[in-house]
Structure 1
């Protein structure tokens, strides 16, 4: 059955020189389509439910205006400026576990809307790996890829460990260049939409560095992490996430992974998780509180603290090279930030953020619909604003407790 969006896809490709199938990836991501597609991915692709289960954990507090400005490019800006300039669709701020601000500027957004989180999915997958390690389903981060996926013997991933994948130091593949035809990430996207297979993309990726020596941001690495997790647990990503994470955080709604059109259909552990902004804030709360929620240890504390590992030279803030911005470091599928507050963030293309400041006890979710996958200026402005919010709330706490 062809829905309205499919008709737009056909109209948008009629004179493009590309087939509808070839152009769908571009159209899903482009404005103004993306404000709709980023909240309706399960209308466009197969999906698998991540059940919330029966446990409920209401978030206390209520939204109120945040009266602050942040300084960027020599000018002061309000949060309304941030939302306008960076195409915010959802914005949720928690302080000390309570909602202090919530807004949904997006045209199709709201508390029940489930947002396409893109590479923020990587951070969810990392949490699942930490749980699987604690349960003994995964033996060690030093385990080679081939211990779980022997079909990768003889590929560029032969000799790479799970730890290498988690820190994006596999030594496989080149930079993620969305605007470069034939780049690994474009081949991956095309395979997800049905042109070729995702497995073939990963198995044919070239070796470009010695494992463990160089950071290179890679959705291919994250995809392999998801497959290792599935092989180790005997469960799909959606099943494992439901059983060991989503059903334990008191989520408002089921989440879902969209699945590839190519067969065998698979979740994209590095990019296909969809959830409400409030539920994503619950995930951030878990990370801010050392993996505990409602008195229960859900993610091992030692695993959460991996985001504090900032001493590896090629993963330190400012040392990631051309594959990362200079205000970030990297640790276990999370981006680390400088400063005493040990702040870190999950990131997804087109402006998806899960910002966590464990010292200030601040969690901020920002979903967006940027016109481009990556935008260094919008990213730097967003991080500047989020850090300013955390600073503002932390200062207010000091005043109230003085």
Structure 2
């Protein structure tokens, strides 16, 4: 369990990077890690008032999420008492819970004053969307394959420690490049990467990453590396010749039928953060999960390679935690689910065999924590039990 929490805590580094690598629109905005509960409730649904963003346009059609034949109201035992959905939402500052089975709504609830049309920031859930866009680019022939080397798409990395690293190794967080993800250290890589324009005309994250040395052979070891998730975003943009927002709109938001435009936070160069901070409605989070569960198809159109969705969400490398492992920017959990996960309580949890997608958005009082994770796992497991037979 301790290793799971350490791995989760590492993901909090994304927010530390975000505090410096984004473009603030408000003077004196505190680090997103230090927002008060009041600031979380005000700004998580309106991140575009705090940071510079780009829009991911929706299309004319909305993918329906019809009501299931019945609803569920799970209860569960945790910390010596019986909890209801409302109890959990109130105690853990949850703004939304959505449960889909076979694409139909079993449970949908809102809190913290949020309404169904309100967006909510994703933190690291965006990583899983970026991974999905890699799959779309492979299907489109814009990326030749997972074993292609990253320098073919980001030539500025030639001659660096990324020479010979494959797209697959980046998605597995196993490039072998030395990286310090300690978000308590102001001199760590995660605190410094992308925080300044180092070379005019070169994306700041690329400028920083190409100066790093190699620590391990590519593919040999999992090292949580927030900078590389932004790097994958740059790679996709270069491969397809479009911004991430444009490509996400073209390959996912429009064809699958998202209900509202998403927004995506940008870095100092105006490029979307591949590792952070999309904002979308609760139901659109559910549609992202359902799209992957349905094998990457939008209607009759195969947006992702037929093999992509399953391979991306099954273990590809051991990540040091007592869990099945890590896929392509997706986490595998001991309860048999796979997750897109973000700090402060954001998650899309999928049980493939149960055809079940569970979305939770929250404003936890801290980025991660053992008790927070245990309570959410108990809640998710209770939802799964209640959904059986539905």
TM-score where L is the length of structure 2: 0.85
The 8 Å contact of residues 182 and 190 in structure 2, kept in 1 or not, is answered as yes
| Distance across 1 between alignment mates of 2:349 and 2:259 | 20
The 8 Å contact of residues 335 and 346 in structure 1, kept in 2 or not, is answered as yes
- Secondary structure class of the residue paired with 1:39: helix
| Distance across 2 between alignment mates of 1:160 and 1:29 | 37
- CA offset at residue 96 of structure 1? 1.7
- Secondary structure class of the residue paired with 1:226: helix
* Cα distance change on mapping 1:335 and 1:379 into 2, 3 Å: same
The 8 Å contact of residues 37 and 363 in structure 2, kept in 1 or not, is answered as yes
Corresponding residue of 2:108: 102
Corresponding residue of 1:357: 351
- CA offset at residue 379 of structure 1? 1.9
* Pick aligned residue for 2:30 from 16, 20, 24: 24
* Pick aligned residue for 1:251 from 232, 235, 258: 258
* Cα distance change on mapping 1:362 and 1:119 into 2, 3 Å: same
Map 1:314-325 to 2 at 5 A: 314-315=317-318, 320-321=319-320, 325=321
- CA offset at residue 73 of structure 1? 4.3
CA offsets, 1:158-217, max 9 Å, x none? 23211111011112243533222222222247459xxx9434332334433221111112
Corresponding residue of 1:3: none
Corresponding residue of 1:42: 48
Deviates more, 1:164-173 or 1:153-162: 153-162
The 8 Å contact of residues 28 and 37 in structure 1, kept in 2 or not, is answered as no
Aligned residue pairs total: 360
Corresponding residue of 1:79: 85
The 8 Å contact of residues 130 and 300 in structure 1, kept in 2 or not, is answered as yes
Over the aligned positions, Cα root-mean-square deviation in angstroms equals 2.5
Structure 1 gaps, min length 5: 1-19, 398-402
Corresponding residue of 1:134: 139
The 8 Å contact of residues 322 and 334 in structure 2, kept in 1 or not, is answered as no
Map 1:304-315 to 2 at 5 A: 304-310=309-315, 312=316, 314-315=317-318
Corresponding residue of 1:265: 270
- CA offset at residue 287 of structure 1? 1.5
TM-score where L is the length of structure 1: 0.82
* Cα distance change on mapping 1:326 and 1:80 into 2, 3 Å: farther
Corresponding residue of 2:384: 390
CA offsets, 1:352-372, max 9 Å, x none? 101111211111111111222
* Pick aligned residue for 2:152 from 134, 140, 147: 147
* Cα distance change on mapping 1:30 and 1:141 into 2, 3 Å: farther
| Distance across 2 between alignment mates of 1:362 and 1:95 | 5
* Cα distance change on mapping 1:191 and 1:393 into 2, 3 Å: farther
Q: Does 1:373 align with 2:367?
A: yes
Corresponding residue of 1:235: 242
Structure 2 gaps, min length 5: 1-25, 198-202
* Cα distance change on mapping 1:145 and 1:66 into 2, 3 Å: same
| Distance across 2 between alignment mates of 1:388 and 1:301 | 32
If asked which structure has higher relative contact order (CA below 8 Å, sep 6+), I would say 2
* Cα distance change on mapping 1:248 and 1:168 into 2, 3 Å: same
* Pick aligned residue for 1:68 from 71, 74, 81: 74
The 8 Å contact of residues 313 and 330 in structure 2, kept in 1 or not, is answered as no
